[in-house]
Amino acid sequence: MLPRPVFVAASLLAAASRVSALWPLPQSLSEGSSALRLSPGFHITLGSSLAVDAPFDLYDAIGRTQLALFTDNLGRLVVGRGASDVDAFQGAAYLTELQLSLGSGSTVNSVATEAQKPIGERDEAYTLTVPANGSAATITATSTLGLYRGLTTFEQLWYEYQGTVYAINAPVTIEDEPAYPYRGLLLDTSRNYFPVSDILRTLDAMSLVKLNEFHWHVVDSQSFPLEIPGYEELATYGAYGPDMVYSASDVQTIVSYAGARGIDVMVEVDTPGHTAVIADAHPDFVACNQARPWATYANEPPAGQLRFTNATVAAWTAGLFSALARMFPSRLVSTGGDEINVPCYDADAETQRDLNATGLSFNDALAGFTSQTHAALEAAGKTPVVWEEMVLDYNLTLSNETYVLVWISSEDAKEVADKGFRIIQAPSNYFYLDCGAGGWVGDYPAGNSWCEPFKTWQYAYTFDPLANLTADQYPLVAGGQHNLWAEQSGPENLDPIVWPRAAASAEVFWSGAGGNVTAALPRLHDVSFRMRQRGINSISLQPLWCALRPDECDLDW
Amino acid sequence: MLPRPVFVAASLLAAASRVSALWPLPQSLSEGSSALRLSPGFHITLGSSLAVDAPFDLYDAIGRTQLALFTDNLGRLVVGRGASDVDAFQGAAYLTELQLSLGSGSTVNSVATEAQKPIGERDEAYTLTVPANGSAATITATSTLGLYRGLTTFEQLWYEYQGTVYAINAPVTIEDEPAYPYRGLLLDTSRNYFPVSDILRTLDAMSLVKLNEFHWHVVDSQSFPLEIPGYEELATYGAYGPDMVYSASDVQTIVSYAGARGIDVMVEVDTPGHTAVIADAHPDFVACNQARPWATYANEPPAGQLRFTNATVAAWTAGLFSALARMFPSRLVSTGGDEINVPCYDADAETQRDLNATGLSFNDALAGFTSQTHAALEAAGKTPVVWEEMVLDYNLTLSNETYVLVWISSEDAKEVADKGFRIIQAPSNYFYLDCGAGGWVGDYPAGNSWCEPFKTWQYAYTFDPLANLTADQYPLVAGGQHNLWAEQSGPENLDPIVWPRAAASAEVFWSGAGGNVTAALPRLHDVSFRMRQRGINSISLQPLWCALRPDECDLDW
């Protein structure tokens, strides 16, 4: 599946009051107005191509769907929460079976294996039919990942009222596939730590809106909570505490939980900046560690960056990425590269000595360091990912296979594309979930978040992934993501700060741009309320009075 | 205790790195630098004046303190979370007893009874001593409420490391009383519903920072979740659902839970505006119910206001307040009075007919209605509370005993004081917790929260309750409060949106104005972390790296 950033869904996106509460909206949907009940004996069956060798995680997904159908207990978001549907569903046909089948000739892999494929090779397409007369519903796809996406859609058709699980829009026919192959969410677990259970719950929520990439900004200057085989000292000395470490086994849990939900885990170890914490274990590796005033040497405290000019450090870092590559099955690993602080290196005698000794310029030394880490990743079959400065601020020799995260501004995507790089859209002016909550730096009463104001779901929803690009550059856009930097976040506010806002980008990158916030709002309420039924603290976008009365809280109603 | 808005604590407020982690900061504090351990056999005893007839809720408070001391398990916010304290506390004396006693001649009332007294009569003063040598600690006061405040302070002295509960600042001597007698928090339970358990948890958090007034904006145009004896139809028809009603018994639970924690419950039924929901049970009572466009007839959807010109409606409303007065022991009841929409009444034929028939002006009819509701409250021994428009926009004949909530802008306090009214400071520009999260009105993509930007704790902390007032007006300021309007809130984000921000006003109104945010930050971290230990999802203000290293994340460090 190559990126197909076309606007096929635009007519659906503009006419949401006619469509059911699916989020993200499918590329093609036809629905009726008949009610259909879910039989208490409802079961999900596997077509012949799967009957023999269905992967374990597909069975697992089927079991979870079966459970969710009878435990979501979501009352429809209308006055009476479904009481007015009784007339319609009484006497309606019962659905007893959903058949999953793979197209002939499809290879049967686990959902995880499909999810972890390279970006351009992920096959998420599926077709879903739900007849109105009670005959079996079907999901067909050419990969188990497509079947999984279909199950997720199927779950969103159902409501519950006084023990009856029912749909209101049979017959349904959906043909669906994502507009963009990369749809992510970044979580920073360094500034504050999140227990594994928080990450698993986040993966559940991501999966509900068909996000497929967990960008794990796992470590940074403040703490190093990742236990990496062969590099255990980093967490031993750099984690906030022994109870705030992701062990190798935790990573395995997270990766397989994600994979089973159609989500790839892209780990990031940001280098050479954002690495002060490495000094706790390797003091010699870090320039200007804890230097003061920190604001001169870093974007946030504490200061400290890897001495990338040092051959030992460069080799060690490359080895670290090789070890990381072995921990994570994803084909993507991010080496970071944002916010390199030059005054830090200017002031570092060792760095200056190295540069003098080799005769390399700062730029060329950085190019060498980056080549070395990227080579380690490429040797392990990975594609490197970097933040935009790596291609906009320096003249390195990165492969054009490299994915570049645009973050400083959405305006920067054009320049990245002009240089021929592939793009992941993560711009702070649309998708930074932490903006607008005031400043956190101390002794700075007038300080505010640097990326004011708060990024509303409405604004994120208007994002155009292809803005300013030429048509021949469109295929460079792999997709994009919301991002949670955790200076002011922790387990206490994870769900409320992320959900349902991050569902906005999930729809932009699945259904395509061009959606209308007014038409989207009732569906977004629906997905938010369904998340709550599953234990995710997704917040209220409006008073319940409004959520139950689509349009009546619109400005001109 | 009359308001004593003096700045006795200013020197303490400016020197927080020398003081312990108490929040709010006491008026007078002397502390040493000796460690002290809490004996496993630690117990709280009652002096002779209490030994015979201590009220049940004081026993209850003692039990909770005893429990919290051994279950808070708060590691001190330093690197190592207390490991560096071991040398100090090994071999330190054990504290085995805390004695509570009332000054001779004090009347022994329950904590709740004291908390529910009129504003000017609440006695919250206490003296706390904790010797360094293990002799008994003492709390003395002239009311059980003072003893309760002392227990709260005592709890904040203790940390835990590997099973040892210890303090680091013995000996401690504290003499304390609040700068302002009213320190509140408003919660709106109409726009979205909060289960009783959320309210109880909020009361726990309030009590931890010595807030003493729960301003319960229980109903509004969107829903009427309060069951009022004799007026049950309002909730029957107006609640979001039968599972979203505060029964009379729930109210009793909330009131006594609050009382036992030194908190009074001030209920508000906002009139005559903000009452569309009353039309569900009494269609004839409400003008312009659900009128469109709502923006012409109300500040938010749905439109609808009580026909205050109608004698039946006025008498019914007065009766409603009489019934409310019987439900709530507080001496304060708010009749609201904000955002009356005049075009609604202009367009309402019944209202115009009433005005023509009586020959009253709009203002005089409103004066009559308000007199009637206030008379009902006064007959029940209550003091009415109103929003500022009632004294600034209309010429009513309100008693100067009335408390006026300043909300539109902190600038308005001066005008309220000039009219001789008593003031509760609740200004949106400092204390509205909902601001800055984007707009919630539909079909309005450019919409933003009307009270942009987000109100940071730092800004709230700089609030001066006496700004622009003359010295003779100072006694008019009863105190103030943070406010959570719940259009975009619910159980999902209650704690994160309120805590620890609302602790900022708690300190302003207990310790007095003039505090310094830089000095306050480490103490605010402490109270936020302690709240988490008690199950309140109070958020991170900084990366943990900063929270463990006071000052090191200050801008100029």
Other beta carbons less than 10 A from residue B415's beta carbon: 15
Whether the CB of B474 is below 8 Å from some CB of chain A: the reply is no
Which amino acid, A57? D
The CATH number of residue B155's host domain is 3.30.379.10
Which pLDDT score, from 0 to 100, does residue A19 have?
A: 55
Q: Would you place residue B340 in the very low, low, confident or very high pLDDT band (cuts 50, 70, 90)?
A: very high
**Domain boundary at A131, A159, A176, which?**
A176
Q: Give the Cα separation of B214 and B506 in Å (integer).
A: 12
* Interfacial A residues in 198-237 facing B (CB < 8 Å): 221-223
Q: Give the Cα separation of B463 and B509 in Å (integer).
A: 10
Residues A255 and A401 in one domain: yes
Residues B458 and B310 in one domain: yes
Whether the CB of B414 is below 8 Å from some CB of chain A: the reply is no
Which pLDDT score, from 0 to 100, does residue B5 have?
A: 36
* Interfacial B residues in 344-373 facing A (CB < 8 Å): none
Q: Using CA coordinates, name the residue in chain B closest to A291.
A: B557
Please indicate whether, in this complex, the C-beta atoms of A441 and B240 are within 8 angstroms of each other.
no
Question: What is the per-residue pLDDT across B352-390, written as a single tens digit (0 to 9) for each?
Answer: 999 999 999 999 999 999 999 999 999 999 999 999 999
Please indicate whether, in this complex, the C-beta atoms of A488 and B517 are within 8 angstroms of each other.
no
Please indicate whether, in this complex, the C-beta atoms of A437 and B444 are within 8 angstroms of each other.
no
Q: Would you place residue B325 in the very low, low, confident or very high pLDDT band (cuts 50, 70, 90)?
A: very high
Which is nearest to B550 in space by CA: B30, B69, B19? B19
The residue count for chain B: 557
**A interface test, pick of B274, B458, B524 with most A CB neighbours within 10 Å:** B458
Q: Has B339 been annotated as catalytic?
A: yes
Min Cα distance B302 → chain A (Å) is 8
Total structural domains within chain B: 2
Catalytic positions of A, written as ranges: 339
Min Cα distance A115 → chain B (Å) is 31
Q: Using CA coordinates, name the residue in chain A closest to B490.
A: A540
Residues B426 and B444 in one domain: yes
* Interfacial B residues in 55-94 facing A (CB < 8 Å): 81
pTM of model > 0.90: yes
Please indicate whether, in this complex, the C-beta atoms of B438 and A456 are within 8 angstroms of each other.
yes
Min Cα distance B295 → chain A (Å) is 7
B220 lies in some domain: yes
Which amino acid, A424? I
Contacts of A453 in chain B (CB under 8 A): 436, 448, 452-453
Please indicate whether, in this complex, the C-beta atoms of A452 and B456 are within 8 angstroms of each other.
no
Q: Give the Cα separation of B394 and B365 in Å (integer).
A: 11
Contacts of B437 in chain A (CB under 8 A): 436, 454, 456
Contacts of B302 in chain A (CB under 8 A): 545, 552
Catalytic residue among B339, B350, B378, B415: B339
Q: Give the one of B442, B521, B532 whose C-beta lies nearest to A521's C-beta.
A: B442
Contacts of B444 in chain A (CB under 8 A): 554-555
Residues A308 and A447 in one domain: yes
Please indicate whether, in this complex, the C-beta atoms of A442 and B551 are within 8 angstroms of each other.
yes
Please indicate whether, in this complex, the C-beta atoms of A487 and B543 are within 8 angstroms of each other.
yes
- Phi/psi at B220 (nearest 5 deg)? -165, -170
**Domain boundary at B121, B153, B176, which?**
B176
**Domain boundary at A130, A156, A176, which?**
A176
Q: Give the Cα separation of A148 and A171 in Å (integer).
A: 21
B439 lies in some domain: yes
The CATH number of residue B432's host domain is 3.20.20.80
Min Cα distance B341 → chain A (Å) is 17
Whether the CB of A542 is below 8 Å from some CB of chain B: the reply is yes
Q: Give the Cα separation of B302 and A551 in Å (integer).
A: 12
Q: Give the one of A301, A462, A492 whose C-beta lies nearest to B532's C-beta.
A: A492
A282 lies in some domain: yes
> Which distant-in-sequence residues (6+ apart) come within 8 Å of A110 by Cβ?
A55, A56, A57, A58, A144, A259, A260
Q: Using CA coordinates, name the residue in chain B closest to A522.
A: B442
Q: Give the one of B193, B294, B462 whose C-beta lies nearest to A445's C-beta.
A: B462
> Which distant-in-sequence residues (6+ apart) come within 8 Å of A302 by Cβ?
A221, A222, A276, A289, A290, A294, B545, B552
Please indicate whether, in this complex, the C-beta atoms of B192 and A540 are within 8 angstroms of each other.
yes
DSSP letters spanning A124-182 = --EEEEE-SSSPPEEEEESSHHHHHHHHHHHHTT-EEETTEEEEEEEEEEEEE--SSSE
Please indicate whether, in this complex, the C-beta atoms of A554 and B444 are within 8 angstroms of each other.
yes
pLDDT at B13 over 70: no
B523 lies in some domain: no
Which is nearest to A366 in space by CA: A307, A303, A320, A319? A307
Residues A341 and A474 in one domain: yes
Min Cα distance A225 → chain B (Å) is 13
Residues A299 and A384 in one domain: yes
A202 lies in some domain: yes
Whether the CB of A459 is below 8 Å from some CB of chain B: the reply is yes
Residues A167 and A224 in one domain: no
This model of the complex carries an ipTM of 0.95
Question: What is the per-residue pLDDT across B515-550, written as a single tens digit (0 to 9) for each?
Answer: 999 999 999 999 999 999 999 999 999 999 999 999
A-B contacts (CB, under 8 Å): 222
Q: Contact A438/A449 with Cβ under 8 angstroms?
A: yes
Mean pLDDT of chain B: 95
Separation in Å, CA A47 to CA A44, A54, A103, A197, A393? 10, 10, 10, 34, 53
> Which distant-in-sequence residues (6+ apart) come within 8 Å of B353 by Cβ?
none
pLDDT at B1 over 60: no
Terminal-to-terminal C-alpha distance of chain B: 42
Residues A307 and A454 in one domain: yes
Whether the CB of A534 is below 8 Å from some CB of chain B: the reply is no
A145 lies in some domain: yes
Q: Contact A210/A240 with Cβ under 8 angstroms?
A: no
Residues B407 and B372 in one domain: yes
Contacts of A245 in chain B (CB under 8 A): none
B438 lies in some domain: yes
Min Cα distance B390 → chain A (Å) is 26
Residues A440 and A509 in one domain: yes
Whether the CB of B301 is below 8 Å from some CB of chain A: the reply is yes
Residues B72 and B125 in one domain: yes
Whether the CB of B296 is below 8 Å from some CB of chain A: the reply is no
Q: Contact B345/B360 with Cβ under 8 angstroms?
A: no
Whether the CB of A447 is below 8 Å from some CB of chain B: the reply is yes
Residues A57 and A157 in one domain: yes
Min Cα distance B547 → chain A (Å) is 10
pLDDT at B252 over 80: yes
Min Cα distance B415 → chain A (Å) is 28
Instruction: Tell me which residue range forms the domain holding B107.
Output: 28-176
Please indicate whether, in this complex, the C-beta atoms of B442 and A551 are within 8 angstroms of each other.
yes
Q: Give the Cα separation of A225 and A235 in Å (integer).
A: 5
Contacts of B491 in chain A (CB under 8 A): 537
Please indicate whether, in this complex, the C-beta atoms of A442 and B542 are within 8 angstroms of each other.
yes
Please indicate whether, in this complex, the C-beta atoms of A292 and B557 are within 8 angstroms of each other.
yes
Contacts of A551 in chain B (CB under 8 A): 442-443
Average pLDDT over residues B159-183: 97
A544 lies in some domain: no
Question: What is the per-residue pLDDT across B110-165, written as a single tens digit (0 to 9) for each?
Answer: 999 999 999 999 999 999 999 999 999 999 999 999 999 999 999 999 999 999 99
Q: Using CA coordinates, name the residue in chain B closest to A241.
A: B80
Q: Would you place residue B51 in the very low, low, confident or very high pLDDT band (cuts 50, 70, 90)?
A: confident
The count of C-alpha atoms lying within 13 angstroms of the C-alpha of A435, restricted to the half-sphere facing its C-beta, is 20
Whether the CB of B242 is below 8 Å from some CB of chain A: the reply is no
Q: Give the Cα separation of A359 and A371 in Å (integer).
A: 18
pLDDT by residue for chain A (557 residues), tens digit each? Answer: 333 333 334 445 444 444 568 999 999 999 999 999 999 999 999 998 887 789 999 999 999 999 999 999 999 999 999 999 999 999 999 999 999 999 988 999 999 999 999 999 999 999 999 999 999 999 999 999 999 999 999 999 999 999 999 999 999 999 999 999 999 999 999 999 999 999 999 999 999 999 999 999 999 999 999 999 999 999 999 999 999 999 999 999 999 999 999 999 999 999 999 999 999 999 999 999 999 999 999 999 999 999 999 999 999 999 999 999 999 999 999 999 999 999 999 999 999 999 999 999 999 999 999 999 999 999 999 999 999 999 999 999 999 999 999 999 999 999 999 999 999 999 999 999 999 999 999 998 778 889 999 999 999 999 999 999 999 999 999 999 999 999 999 999 999 999 999 999 999 999 999 999 999 999 999 999 999 999 999 999 999 999 999 999 999 99
Contacts of B294 in chain A (CB under 8 A): 552, 557
pLDDT at B19 over 60: no
